Amino acid sequence: MNRDLFAKEALAQIPKILTLCDRNPHSPTYGCCDRNFWQYKIIDFPSGMAQEFLYPLALAYYTNISNNPFYQQAAIRDWVEAGIIFAAKTAHKDGSCDDYFPFERASGAAAFSLLACIESYSILGLDNPEILRFFELRASWLAHHQESGRLTNHQALIVLCLELLSQMLCTPRWDRAKALRLEQVLDWQHEEGWFPEYEGCDPGYHTLTISCLARIYQLQPDNNRLKEALKKAVELAAHFLHPDGSYGGEYTSRNTYNFFPHGFELIGQWLPGALRINDCFLQGLSQGLAPCYADDHIIGHHTWNYLLTWRDFVDRIPLAVPHKSGRIWLKSAQILIDRRENVELYIALNKGGAFKLFRDQKLVASDTQFSLQVRSGGKLKNAVGHLIDNYDVQVSAKEIIIMGQLGWAKQKQMTPVNLLILRVVMLTFGRFFPNLIRKLLQKMLITGKQDAPFYFSRRLRWKNYQWHVTDELQTRSWQPVQAAGIGGDQTSIYVVMSRTFQLGQLQPWLDLTEEVKKLAPHQPLKLDRHL
């Protein structure tokens, strides 16, 4: 198995990451990794999350592989140290930082960037008491801060930061906070094996949580409860590896194709089955099936995780272990995986039956349910069938039925007025209640749902070695509907790591507009497909 593929994929991103960083020692923003702030000057504060980019730079400095032009380059070391100093200089007095708006005090940005700074400091062998004081300040803020929303990956990341810094400084200062937060993470794990991310199970973020917890277990090898939790988590993750080597997608709670491989290498040292997950993913990676995360905000996560995977890769002889025929029904996650006759179906019962279907190890169809453009009050609104809800579901051996109501997609955009209001709020009383503002934005952009006046039923029947999909959509009047169709990669909530490009999304849009125009009032739209 070619471990170098992980390093090559990651190192290819380093030039872009360096472009995002201010590398001028005489610049007042020297070390800033937010190009929108220091170069374009189109925002009025630097995103603290951007300093996470220091971690892949430090690892690139450390990675001894052929054709790595960044290996042990003194300039890289200087730029990383400057980046850590910039993170300290621009933090709030309590050690926190912002991500999307001033005085946000974002836990995720604070934790990701702290992990990057701690690990980079260690990798490069830096010696700077000022930086260490900043680490302590930020760690103490994270230890005592609880964000709104249930994002397990953030909580696991915070525990990892506290554990790493405790060992670096040889201090028991955060022992109680570490223990309580790790207990919270383990308590959150569902009996089906997944860790919650907002409204349910997202296998992509699940692998990031596994990565963090595997590192923590390295540092706490006597923690048997953590070990058992990791076993369950790995077993769950294995179900979501598609037969072509891709992973996750729009049928999951946060619509991501995330895959963080490092944790599986660490766990594979004592649980060999975990290594097979990475072996399968490597096959997909070699065929270009990994999603593209090379944008200015999310390029860092996978880059450092891939480099860590290369560093800690476990030697083995890869074993092809095909999925067994049968059905896996995660009833609480509301995800059903059905495998039979070289056909694999991954379907979200809580998202209107959004699904991916594979035949002979190739993607046949990706479906994110009905989508309508509807004229309402002089505006075009989008009604969709893939929002998370409690639909009526019937499941039998050869048939799956989901019935429910479309919901209005979240399409809120920022305007100059909205931005001004947010700035005024955050520069006045909002700065004292950032968690409340975050909670309101989460409800507006992520968790809230408004029903639309359209009713659907989706029926999948197994017949003649095929899935027969029958969709039906009803409403009082079709007149307001301007366009209709079914796409393979639609999502309608705000998730940072979603809506990335992946080769499977080249599937054409299924345009149903002409069919809708022919319908009389109360006449249902019907669609039959054999897949």
**Residues with Cβ within 8 Å of residue 506, at least 6 apart in sequence:** none
SS3 376: strand
Task: List the Cα angle 324/327/328 in 5-degree steps.
Answer: 100
> In terms of DSSP H, where are the helices of 91-151?
107-123, 129-143
Strands 510-511 and 525-530: unpaired
Q: How many helices (H) and strands (E) does the chain have?
A: 17, 16
The candidate with the shortest Cα–Cα distance to 84, out of 44, 138, 155, 37, is 138
Query: Counting every residue, how long is the chain?
Result: 531
Print pLDDT tens along the chain (531 aa): 689 999 999 999 999 999 999 999 999 999 999 999 999 999 999 999 999 999 999 999 999 999 999 999 999 999 999 999 999 999 999 999 999 888 899 999 999 999 999 999 999 999 999 999 999 999 999 999 988 778 999 999 999 999 999 999 999 999 999 999 999 999 999 999 999 997 789 999 999 999 999 999 999 999 999 999 999 999 999 999 999 999 999 999 999 999 999 999 999 999 999 999 999 999 999 999 999 999 999 999 999 999 999 999 999 988 766 678 899 999 999 999 999 989 999 999 999 999 999 999 999 999 999 999 999 888 999 999 999 899 999 999 999 999 999 999 987 777 888 778 877 787 787 787 777 776 776 666 666 678 999 999 999 999 999 999 999 999 999 999 999 999 999 998 878 888 899 999 999 999 999 999 999 999 999 999 999
Rounded to whole angstroms, the Cα distance separating 528 from 526 reads 7
Domain chopping of the chain, boundaries: 4-311, 327-530
CATH number for the region 4-311 comes to 1.50.10.10
Sign of the Cα pseudo-torsion (413, 417, 423, 427, in order): negative
Rounded to whole angstroms, the Cα distance separating 489 from 499 reads 8
Rounded to whole angstroms, the Cα distance separating 481 from 454 reads 11
SS3 327: strand
The candidate with the shortest Cα–Cα distance to 190, out of 160, 149, 233, is 233
3-state secondary structure 89-100: HHCCCCCCCCCC
